Each structure stands twice: as C-alpha cells, then as structure tokens.
Chains A and B, each alone.
Chain A
Amino acid sequence: MPQRISSTMLRAPGRRGLLLLLTLALLAMGLGVGSFSLAQASPCTNVLTNGGFESDAGWTLETQGNYSLLSDYLAHSGLRAAYLAGTDNAVDSVSTTLALPAGDQNISLHFWWQIFTEETGGGYDGLTVQVLDSAGNPLKMLFSVGDLNAVDTWQQASLDLSEFAGQTIQLKFQGQSDSSLTSDFFVDDVEVTACDMSQLTNRIFLPFTSR
C-alpha cells in the first residue's frame, strides 16, 4: 500500500510536478536558503569598532567646552551616544581613523542621529559628517543637517564611502552651534561596512539574496 501510494504520487504529477518542485525550490532559496548561504560566508565586515560610543575607545573627542561628548541622555542602543553641541558657540566633534580595504569594495557608512533645537529660524546650527585624509585635510562632506531637521525620533543615514577604498581616512562627526539658541546633536550606532564585491559576483542566487 505505501509503495502504491508513493508510486502514484511520483507518476501522477508528471511535468506539472516537476514545475511545482522547481517553483518550491526557487521559493525556498528566496526565503531563506540563499540568505543562509550568504550568512555563512558573508563578504561584508564592519571595519569600525565601538560605533555605539559606549566608551571613548577608538574615538578622538574634541570640544571647546568643559563637558563630556559621550552621553547617557539619549542612546539609540546601549547606554551612550555621542552628544555634540548643546551649548552656544560649540564646535564639538568625534572622529576616528579607518583603514578601508582596497579592491572591489562596496563600503557604506551607517549611523543614527537625532537633533533637538531651540532655534526657530533654521540653518544656524548643524551636524556634519566629514571625510578627512589621515593628515586631517578635508576630502569630502558626506552629510549635513541643521536645526531645521530637528525631529523627535532617531533617523538613520546610510552613505557611500566606496570612493575611499584602500585609503586611510578620518571620519569626523561634527556638531556646531551659533551664539544663541542651542541645538543638541546625538549620534549613535555608527557602522562602516565593507563588502567585497568580487566574492558576491560568484553566487548564482544573488537576485534572491538581495532583499
């Protein structure tokens, strides 16, 4: 009896069955199998440590004020975040030096930010993300928001750093304010992911793992 049933099941579907099996296989790859394979040999690495600002390790903190730039007021995750400005005439920054991998790399900067402000007009205080060379010379402004962008929730930014592959750069988050009506800039959970594109191109199920 079991043999009969099995035989019927195998025989009855014919081409339809094969089509069904193929569809199921493709779906499985799309839903999980593919990504599982990718996770096993991920070509992406986070080249930045302590992006959560839980300590000052790896970061250079610069302020003209007499206060800490790592704060437990607001944190996107963990206990602390970088807290820049928050007082008049502030120029506060946290920066780190990164040696970005060379080759066919897709390098991205991801971080979370939030702004409180007392400004009402806009455009007086700002948070910027700058790329400097290892000697501190400016290379590119990656990101700039101002007091007009103040919102009461954390926002994520993702920026492309691929053009700096193979270079040693300084990544600098700077908050600055003018002489009145302060703004508070918070930055947390900074990641710099470098993905080796040469590894990714060998995988035939890439279209299904790109989600």
Chain B
Amino acid sequence: MTNQHASTDASTDVFPNVFQRVRPWLFFLAFAAILFVGYTATNLEASPAQSTVPPIALKTRLTGPIDSTSPTEWVVAGITVHITADTRIDERARQSTIPGGWARVIGQGDGQGGLIAARIKILPPKHFVGLRGPLDELTDTAVVVDGISVARTVTTKILGDPQPGQDRVDIRAAIQIDGSLLALRVKKVGPPDDFDDGQRDRTELKGVVQEMTDGPGVWTISGVPVTVTDTTQIKHRVGPIMVGSWVEVEGRGDGQGGLTAREIKSIPMQRRHKLQGPLTELTDTTVVVDGIPVDLSPDVRIKGDPQPGQKVEVKAILQPDGSMLAFEVKQEGRDDDDRPGHEVKFGGIIESMPATGFDGVWVISGREVNVVEGLTEIDEHKGPAEVGARVEVEAIREADGALTALEIEVKKDGDTDENDHGRRYVEFKGTVESLPAGGLIGAWVVDGRTVEVSQHTRIKQENGPIVVGSRVEVEGWKLEDGTIQARKIESKDGNNDDEDHGAKVEFTGHIVSFPQDLIGEWTIDDETVIATEATLFKQKDGPFEVGALVQVKGVRQNDGAVLAFTIKTESGE
C-alpha cells in the first residue's frame, strides 16, 4: 500500500517535467501520428479484400486425427496445419474435447508439406485418413498432393490413371507406426478446369440451340456465341441436343461477347430465355452480363438496383434476328450459398446414388452432391441411406460450384407402402404367392393382392427370376376393385431370410427340342427348361436349332425343371 502510493507520487513528479521540457505542438504531432497508424491498422484488418494477402484457396482437403493444437498451428495426421486469422474453425472445436477427435481441414498447401487452413471441422473418428487435392507427383514410392507427400507401395491401388499436374485425386491413407502416411488407394476425382479458381461467379444461359457443331466449335444459343471445347460436358438429359433444343449452358464469358461452356445439358422447353451472371454494364439500351450484351426492351423492368459485379438474372425473348431482347433485369440476392467455402444446408430426397458404396455423386432433390468416403459422414440412425430416403445435407461449396457433402443424415425411411401418384398409384413389396400357368402374363397374387400383369408390364429380373415365393416390388395403378394393374415388377435381392427362390443354375448344353415360338418347354441335353415371356433369348452365335449349343441361366424349380432367365447360343469353340 505504501509502495503504491510512492509510485504514484513518483509519476506525478515525472510528468510535469516532461510537459515543461516538450513543446505542446510536438505532443499534437505525436498524437496525430498514433491516430493515423491506428486507423490504418484497423482498416487493413477490417478489409481483407484490400489486403495484398491472397485468400486461402479451398483446393486441398485433409481428414485425420488431431495430434496437437495451438492457436497458430495444429498437427493433423502428422501434417502441419497453419491457423490464420481467416481460418474458420468449427464451433464444436472450441467446446468439445479435441483429444482423440478427428478433423477435416480444407485449405491449400504451404509448399513445405503442410496446409494453410481455411476451414476446420471436428469429426468423429474415422477408419482412414483422407487427403484430396491436386496431384503434383506420382512415383513408385510417393504420392504428392498439393505439396503433401504420402508414401506409396506396390499395394497402393491407383484408380482412374490420374496424371500429375492435371488431375485431382482422393487418397485414402493409413498412419504407419512412425506416424507417416501410407496411401492405400489413390483415386482420380476429375480434372481441374478453367473454372476451378473460384474467383468469379459462373454464368448460366438457358436458351435454344440455333447453330451447333459436331465436335468442339462455336455454337449459337439464343443469339449468344458459345464456345464448346474438348472439356465441355455435353449432357443429353431430357433428350438429344440438336438445333431447336432447349439447353442450359454453364460457363463463363469469353471476353468477346460470348460464353465458353463448361457444361451444356438439354432441358425441357422454357417460356423465356434466361441469362444469369455477374453484371458488367447496364445502360439505357443494353445489359451486359459477364461480357455478353443483350438488348433492352423499351419496356424493360429493372428489379432491384443491380450494380456492376453483382449477379443478375436477365429474362428475354428472341428477336426476329435470333438475338435476345431483355424484358426484365433482376438483381439477384446475395446468396452466401454460392460463395466457395460456404456451408450449404438443405433437405431432400435421395434420387440417385452410386451403384456400389457411398463414394461418388448423389442426387438429392435435384442437387448433385459429392460424397467422399472418409470425408462425408453418413448418419443412418433413422434409416438406411438409399434412393427415396429423406435426408438433410450439410455440404461445402467448392470453388467450381460443386457441393461436397460433409454430413448426410437420414431423416426418414423412404420406403413407402403407398403413395398418391396422379392416378391411384401404388408401390409395395411382397412375396409372390401365385403366378399364371405357363408364364408371367396374367393375374398374380402378391401378399394377398391380385396383380394384373400384361405384356406392357416392365418385369425386371436382374436380382433373380421371379417364381412363386420370390420377393418382388410391385408398382402400378390400383383399380376400384383393389386389383393392381402392374406397371413394373422387380425381383428383389434374394438374400432375405424370407426368400426361397430355389437354386440358381447355369449350364451349357445342346438343344434336343424347343418350341417354335420359343416360349414353353425346351429340352437341352437331359434338362427340361421352361422359357417364359420374361426369358431373354440371345442368338448372336447362331440361331436356335436342334443340336445348337446354348447356355442357360435360370433357377431350378421344385419339379426339377429349370425356369430360364436367359438362353443364348454359344459358338461351340
């Protein structure tokens, strides 16, 4: 207490001396200098866009266990991860217990084998370490991705022939005893393209093909020259693309009033032609979007206050000369979802998934989402992730606009028993209790329901031939009397406990006898084979004739006969 008083007294002694020795205007200058430095520093911090430091690219992704953390540096799966002021860290990381946790780091290589993190998210433990990014080098002993080296051995699977300097790869790796990474699988995930810089919005054009080339060249779509290159993806979604087709072009302005296409896909006919992209210029007579000029109608409606650089949507009609005439220019709302690196959350129905496994592109209510094994969490607590399932998706927007799923949570099993599909459309799974005599056309009984099958019914037997006892999925229209008029019947996988298809057989033999119209009883060697309307006949190696060698695939019935799934001729060599 005494000391504090003494100190205070001392300072009051010193300051009067200073004031006495230094002129007041020097104090004023010093004060102004401090203010200037402080103001400049504040502005630099508040306006990163004006900083000379480039933003962190989102080109490399690392998923692995967290070895250590500090305010400026983490180590994940043995790889140094730099934390900057711009690094966004999952909120859970600050709250939850990091030891034992895994992290997904998205950022760019530091050129020294580490990563500069743009985003970090904490994950539950995974089985493998994941690394995805541009392939720098691929040797017999190493795979280098964005400067990060991972060991390779003869057991490492290389999928898709990835080329260094051209392709991006997805690596599944294991941590070795010494802490280094060993690549188990290196998979090409698609070449980088000119659109991967994430610096500009993409431009989209919905219009009609007026001129087109067979291969790469310049097309004319609603009056806009569209350059199609070797890498342009052409998707014949709703039909083939030809002159007159409505298409959606995704690309960017070529600086000469046209568009360089990254993707062109056919779409249903539209009422209006549309051009979306960053506004270059808006005058009284013209709107220029990403360098593409469009005439303005005298009655054009300008919605919002579109400014150069902002995204706009232009709606137009075609003029007699085939060019567009805009009748509406609308400022698009700032959509954070479109910005690379931002998280996107949405719900929907799984419409398609890769044929095997989860790894690949899913379509969820019309939106394509990349699922990456080891990166995407699939939460199936509430039901299996399958086509038809309702899910919630948390994804990250890539620089090229694609979505990479971070989490997909199944909300509800989509296997509905009945639904209203225009007319009384129903679908259900059941066991075949009876079939018509001599074939599949006629009345079936499936789980007690009468199912009318005609020659128009699509019968799929890819999972095994349909016999009494088969498990099937039926789709069709329910009639007033309760009968189901089947549109599609599909045999389901025979691995369920309640299924008893009989033994599948496959053999080759010579035709002893066969019915003239192929449907009915065949004798092949000493086997009796029953062919139905659903049997697939292939005569590529010669016609069916007595003595011909044929291969039969089918199922043996209780009476010993084989119900044929396919019968095809063999060359006999």
Contacts and interface: CB of A to CB of B under 8 A. Distances in A.
Interface of A: 65-68, 71-73, 83, 86-87, 116, 118-128, 130, 138-146, 148-150, 152, 174, 176, 178-182, 184
A56 to B, nearest CB: 13
B366 A120 contact: yes
B434 interface: no
Contact of B240 (A118, A130, A143, A178): A130
18 contacts: A65-B458, A66-B534, A66-B536, A67-B455, A83-B456, A86-B488, A116-B422, A121-B363, A121-B367, A123-B237, A124-B363, A125-B238, A128-B266, A140-B243, A144-B238, A144-B245, A146-B237, A149-B268
A63 B482 CA distance: 31
A88 to B, nearest CB: 9
Contacts of B460: 87
Contacts of A144: 238-239, 245-246, 266-269
B421 A116 contact: yes
Contacts of A68: 455-456
Contacts of B534: 66
A174 B239 contact: yes
B387 A126 contact: no
A71 B456 contact: yes
B450 interface: no
B238 A126 contact: yes
A124 B454 CA distance: 27
Interface in B181-206: none
B457 to A, nearest CB: 8
A152 B422 contact: yes
B485 interface: yes
B59 interface: no
B239 A180 contact: no
A120 B458 contact: no
A130 to B, nearest CB: 7
Contact of A87 (B236, B366, B488, B536): B488
Given A87-B460, A144-B246, 9 more contacts: A67-B458, A72-B454, A124-B237, A124-B351, A125-B238, A141-B209, A142-B244, A180-B351, A181-B351
A179 B246 contact: no
Given A116-B425, A140-B244, A123 B267 contact: yes
B530 to A, nearest CB: 17
Ranked 4 nearest A-B pairs via Cβ: A121-B366, A126-B238, A128-B239, A141-B244
B67 to A, nearest CB: 42
A56 B352 CA distance: 34
B365 interface: yes
Interface of B: 209, 236-246, 265-269, 348-349, 351-352, 363, 365-367, 387, 421-423, 425, 454-460, 477, 485, 487-488, 534, 536
Nearest to A115: B422
A180 B352 contact: yes
Nearest to A149: B268
Contacts of B351: 119-121, 124, 180-181
Given A119-B351, A181-B351, A145 B238 contact: yes
A133 to B, nearest CB: 12
A178 B236 CA distance: 10
A118 B458 CA distance: 15
A184 B366 contact: no
Contacts of A123: 237-238, 265, 267-268, 366
A150 B422 CA distance: 9
A181 B419 CA distance: 14
B268 A145 contact: yes
Contact of B269 (A71, A145, A179): A145
A122 B422 CA distance: 16
Contacts of A174: 239-240
Contacts of B365: 120-121
Nearest to A180: B352
A87 B458 contact: yes
A127 B239 contact: yes
Contacts of B209: 141
Contacts of B242: 130, 138-141
Contacts of B245: 128, 141, 144
A91 B344 CA distance: 35
A182 B285 CA distance: 46
Contact of A73 (B268, B366, B459, B487): B487
Nearest to B246: A144
Contacts of B366: 120-123
A136 B240 CA distance: 13
B239 A141 contact: yes
A173 B11 CA distance: 96
Given A73-B487, A123-B238, A128-B240, A67 B352 contact: no
A152 B455 contact: no
B367 A126 contact: no
Given A120-B351, A122-B366, A149-B268, A72 B456 contact: yes
Contacts of B367: 121
A86 to B, nearest CB: 6
Contact of B243 (A65, A124, A139, A143): A139
A149 B534 CA distance: 32
A68 B216 CA distance: 38
A141 B422 CA distance: 28
A130 B266 CA distance: 13
Contacts of B477: 73
Contacts of A140: 242-244
Nearest to A73: B456
Contact of A179 (B268, B352, B421, B423): B352
Contact of B487 (A86, A130, A178, A179): A86
A87 B486 CA distance: 13
A150 B363 CA distance: 19
Given A116-B422, A141-B245, A152-B422, A184 B487 contact: yes
B208 to A, nearest CB: 9
A210 B387 CA distance: 53
A100 B455 CA distance: 35
A102 to B, nearest CB: 22
B516 to A, nearest CB: 20
Nearest to B425: A116
A189 B237 CA distance: 26
A78 to B, nearest CB: 15
A146 B235 CA distance: 14
B498 to A, nearest CB: 25
Contacts of A180: 351-352, 387
Contacts of B269: 143-145
A126 B184 CA distance: 41
A121 to B, nearest CB: 2
Contacts of A127: 238-239
B272 to A, nearest CB: 15
Contacts of B352: 178-181
